[in-house]
Structure 1
Amino acid sequence: MRIIVIGGVAAGTKAAAKAHRVDPNNEIILYQDESEVSYSACGLPYVISGVIADERKVIIRQPEDFAKDGIQVFIRHRVLGIDTGKQQLTVRNLQNNTDFIVSYDRLIIATGARPIVPNIEGITLEGVLTLRNIADLARFKTLLSTVQPQKAVIIGAGYIGLELAETFHELNITTTIIEKAPRILPKSDPEMAQLVHDHLLENQVEIILGDGLAKLDGNNGRVTSVETECGKIIPADLVVIAIGAKPNVELAKEADIELGITGAIAVDSRMETNIPGIYAAGDCCETVNRITGATTWMPLGDIANLQGRVAGENVAGGDAHFPGVFGTAIFKTFKLTVAMTGLSEQSALESGLDPISIKTEGSDRARYYPGKQDFSLKLIADRKDGRLLGAQAIGLGSVDKMIDIAATALLGKLTCSDLENADLAYSPPFSPVLSPIIVAAGVLHSKLSKLSLTG
């Protein structure tokens, strides 16, 4: 059986490798329109800052590595069309600009996503960049070495924008962030986002909220300033567009593969599309929120790998299922680690739930132990039964540990009462005697108990 995978960054390469492990007798071909496969896009900001000195480190595997397993990887090959009736692909070799047709028995679409770029005046000027792939990284490195920018403007205050704010600070580039929403990190609750806002200001990052990008001005083909919708003019020799991404679904749409309500490819729990034998995985497809049951689009690297693994097993004859996501995410900006899982209080309300929450302060070690670091932790629960709905943590300590515990609690559908009695590891170098998440769960449980007594 011939299995073809379209796309080779996260989901595609994971799917190809899994399909080979399930049945090594299958012929597996992967087409990737970029010059590299199997790289970590999440590591690119750290290459730009110099934290990762060798950019080749973010490339996990090369085509020849896959070849050792019998997987044929063709870089710089773009799939132009899918004929689902004939089970054929039209492919263009971008190296010599020739087209050919290849047949398949089963297919995995892992075409990923691309940055949203507004169609405004000046958007094609030199110095206006996005950061999504290795080619974008090359453009960044060229600009930094030739122009040596002094003033950067980042459009968008999500994860990528805030990671790059730190990156530019490390490179001594004065930075302004412009965010159309009334606060940064719109997916976080306001009081948690404010902690990050204040930290950015402490690190000399200018923040403009409630304003958007109107146009870009330039000289001799190179960007020189940003004009906002409110009329502000901000000098800039580097502009980064980081207002979000959209799934690459044109290929699927033209082949009458069904798109879902989010605009991404619709799949079932087996990652199969509406056309039998055609699967999709990663940033190009939808998934399900495991708390609300609602269809969602969650373009995150770990999710792409998990979905790719399921698609790869099933395309080779298995019966694996992907249950959906909680939206667990984490990033770093300056000294702060910012992490979240599940629903925010705001999103819980929007989903028709009745949330109750608490915000506590904690530390990652015993209070007397050297090197103790502090963080803020917010837990959200369902007022009806105390079931945990989400968590957000921001600070200097082991924020990742708190969120991973919370994500596991969501997986087990634990209540605050369950979580406050969790048996977690303790030793002064690693935790207070009661983990901050145990304490927070206890406070939230008490709040719920008082409400039930008074109600």
Structure 2
Amino acid sequence: MKIVIVGSVAAGTSAAAKARRNTEDAQITIYEKDSYISYSGCGLPYFVGGETSDIGKLTPRDARWFKERYNVEIKTGCEVLTVDSAQKTLCVRNLISGEEFTDTYDRLVWATGSKPFKPQLDGIGSRNVFTVKNPQNAVDVDACIAEHPAKKALIIGGGYIGLEMAVALKERQMGVTILELSSHVMPLMDDEMAAILQKYMTGKGIDVLTSAKVTGFQHSNGMARTVMVEGHEPIPADLFIWSAGIKPEVELAKTMGVKLGITGAIEVDNRMQTNLPDVYAVGDCAQVYSLVTGSPMYRPMGSTANKMGRIAGDVITGGSLKFRGVLGTGIFKVFGLSVAMTGLTEKEARKFGYDIEVIHNIKPNVPDYYPGSAEMTIKAVADRKTEKLLGVQIVGGEGVDKRIDVFVTAITYGARAGDLFHLDLAYAPPFATTKDPVLYTGMILDNALNRGRRIMTTHELIEREQAGEKITIIDVRNKKDRDRGFIEGSLHIPLQKIRSELAGFHKDDLIVVHCNKGVSGNAAQNILINNGFRNVYNLSGGYKQYIIEKNRERK
């Protein structure tokens, strides 16, 4: 059997390696038009920032290594021009010599990945406007900084790579501004969680301009000088990073008759097969589907690409592996802040028609008395009907990675919100609190879903007040906290006095209680409910979450 793979980054090399592990009988060839193979795209900002000084560490394997290790022939600098699916032939051009030749296949795997989304804007091709997609891009950025010392960098796009590049360039003592087309950075997150991230970044000296539509660059002598933004004066900079999203590299596959899905990526089944016989697609050029909803999605990640490649390599050589879908899990770090997400956002859950419970849980990663204690905000979304966890977002210090992986596992295996409390998670002061933030998240959700301890988010509170509902808001914090700031129109009744003030309220009143983060608010809620009050909510995330969302709305 002759296996030909087009593309040699995570998915293509993973497919080749798995196929070879399964059989020694196949002839395996990979065509790659670039000179780099099997590189870590997610590591590129860390090279630019100086954490990784050697680009070779991000490209540890070359064609020779694959030949010796797996007996896989990787031909770099070779671009596949056309494919005839009926004859099972390919026309290939050697980009160095210009020679064109024909090859044949029994099984074909598309692993062409993705490419930056770059509209036709005046000046976007300037020498100091870069994308960061492959190792050469990162090397070029580094060389440009060395050759033309830059004082100010401007980044178009506030997604994963854009934010990581902002940190990298800030670490190199540049002034950094991020322009984001949507209303907040990290559009994959819900807005109030992204607001925590954005506030942190501005506190670190990174300027952020949202709802910013770039219309072009003013340039001279081959160099961009300013970027033009709709509704704003031109913004000058010395270095520009274009990081406004990517799209699947599918043009050639489309010309041979491969079907694209609704996301614009190649449509595959759970065995990575396309609509054409003996043709497969893996990695960033292929469409995946949500493990929660079953709906198609496009979420290019190196981890997913490796998984898809392994499945294709197994299937081609007679194996039984099947793709189970993804949650779209992601994590990144901005200075000392970790940001992670998995599953559905609140916005997505509502779009798919779920009746949802939403909570914000603000807890330290380890006990307050232990060195390194840092707060994390966990937002969890659950389905009221099934009580299953649908999605989680976390912003915080150390330990975010551990918690998001627990939530990923829980969602993957269909855990209900109340199941989280029963997890026997590791505990010792250097690692966690006795009631880990994961357990607390389960407790809050279970109380809201099954025990009448309902939660109201800041967004819902503001929405219902604006609709004219009469809501009594009771602040149960101490005077010191109250003096630092309070919700307009709220009543101040410290928790220890609330029992003596119950007579002042009617038991059918709509009451929202709150503290700083939610714990004392829950205690007050319990007192009211146990005394016969029938319509009591605890404010999700307390005053801390309220003020973040309120400030965001003002902006």
Tell me, what secondary structure is at the counterpart of 1:283? helix
Deviation at residue 97 of structure 1 after TM alignment = 1.0
Q: Is the 8 A contact 2:116 2:243 kept in 1?
A: yes
Alignment of 1:29-178 (within 5 A): 29-68=29-68, 69-178=70-179
Alignment of 1:290-439 (within 5 A): 290-439=291-440
TM-score scaled by structure 2?
0.80
Q: Is the 8 A contact 2:265 2:285 kept in 1?
A: yes
Deviation at residue 320 of structure 1 after TM alignment = 1.3
Between the aligned partners of 2:375 and 2:8, the Cα distance in structure 1 is 40
Tell me, what secondary structure is at the counterpart of 2:29? strand
Between the aligned partners of 2:53 and 2:344, the Cα distance in structure 1 is 36
Deviation at residue 124 of structure 1 after TM alignment = 1.0
Partner amino acid for 1:116? F
Tell me whether 1:15 sits opposite 2:5 in the alignment. Answer: no
Between the aligned partners of 1:123 and 1:110, the Cα distance in structure 2 is 27
Between the aligned partners of 1:203 and 1:229, the Cα distance in structure 2 is 26
Q: Is the 8 A contact 1:216 1:223 kept in 2?
A: yes
Partner residue, 1:227: 228
Partner amino acid for 2:52? I
Q: Deviations over 1:196-242 (max 9, x none)?
A: 01011101111111121011011211111111011321111111111
Between the aligned partners of 1:421 and 1:367, the Cα distance in structure 2 is 23
Tell me, what secondary structure is at the counterpart of 2:109? strand
Between the aligned partners of 1:396 and 1:232, the Cα distance in structure 2 is 36
Deviation at residue 112 of structure 1 after TM alignment = 0.1
Q: Deviations over 1:251-303 (max 9, x none)?
A: 11000011111111010000000112111000000011010111111111100
Partner residue, 1:209: 210
Between the aligned partners of 1:7 and 1:409, the Cα distance in structure 2 is 34
Between the aligned partners of 1:219 and 1:120, the Cα distance in structure 2 is 15
Between the aligned partners of 1:315 and 1:81, the Cα distance in structure 2 is 22
Between the aligned partners of 1:254 and 1:410, the Cα distance in structure 2 is 38
Which 5+ residue runs of structure 1 have no aligned equivalent? none
Partner residue, 1:248: 249
Deviation at residue 247 of structure 1 after TM alignment = 0.2
Between the aligned partners of 2:128 and 2:352, the Cα distance in structure 1 is 41
Between the aligned partners of 1:321 and 1:238, the Cα distance in structure 2 is 44
Q: Is the 8 A contact 1:310 1:321 kept in 2?
A: yes
Q: Deviations over 1:70-119 (max 9, x none)?
A: 11111111111111011011111111011100011111110000010121
Deviation at residue 144 of structure 1 after TM alignment = 1.1
Q: Deviations over 1:404-450 (max 9, x none)?
A: 00000011100111111111111111111121111111011101124
Between the aligned partners of 2:318 and 2:148, the Cα distance in structure 1 is 53
Partner residue, 1:184: 185
TM-score scaled by structure 1?
0.98
Deviation at residue 451 of structure 1 after TM alignment = 4.5
Q: Is the 8 A contact 1:379 1:441 kept in 2?
A: no
Deviation at residue 319 of structure 1 after TM alignment = 2.2
Question: Higher helix proportion, which one?
Answer: 2
Between the aligned partners of 1:147 and 1:351, the Cα distance in structure 2 is 49
Asked which structure has the greater RCO (Cα within 8 Å, sep 6+), the reply is 1
Tell me, what secondary structure is at the counterpart of 1:394? strand
Q: Is the 8 A contact 2:190 2:346 kept in 1?
A: yes
Percent identity, please.
Answer: 39
Deviation at residue 46 of structure 1 after TM alignment = 0.2
Q: Is the 8 A contact 1:329 1:339 kept in 2?
A: yes
Q: Deviations over 1:290-328 (max 9, x none)?
A: 101111111111000000100111112222100111000
Partner amino acid for 1:27? Q
Partner amino acid for 2:412? L
Between the aligned partners of 1:311 and 1:134, the Cα distance in structure 2 is 26
Q: Is the 8 A contact 1:40 1:60 kept in 2?
A: no
Partner amino acid for 1:287? V
Q: Is the 8 A contact 2:128 2:223 kept in 1?
A: yes
Between the aligned partners of 2:390 and 2:238, the Cα distance in structure 1 is 43
Between the aligned partners of 1:60 and 1:94, the Cα distance in structure 2 is 23
Deviation at residue 362 of structure 1 after TM alignment = 1.8
Between the aligned partners of 2:39 and 2:159, the Cα distance in structure 1 is 22
Deviation at residue 385 of structure 1 after TM alignment = 2.2
Between the aligned partners of 2:232 and 2:216, the Cα distance in structure 1 is 10
Between the aligned partners of 1:429 and 1:203, the Cα distance in structure 2 is 27
Q: Deviations over 1:158-210 (max 9, x none)?
A: 11111111111101111111111111112211211011010111011111111
Tell me, what secondary structure is at the counterpart of 1:308? helix
Deviation at residue 366 of structure 1 after TM alignment = 2.7
Aligned residue-pair number = 455
Partner amino acid for 2:375? D
Q: Is the 8 A contact 2:55 2:135 kept in 1?
A: no
Partner amino acid for 2:212? D
Deviation at residue 452 of structure 1 after TM alignment = 8.8
Structure with bigger gyration radius: 2
Partner residue, 2:272: 271
The 10-residue stretch of structure 1 (10-19 or 175-184) with the greater mean CA deviation from structure 2: 175-184
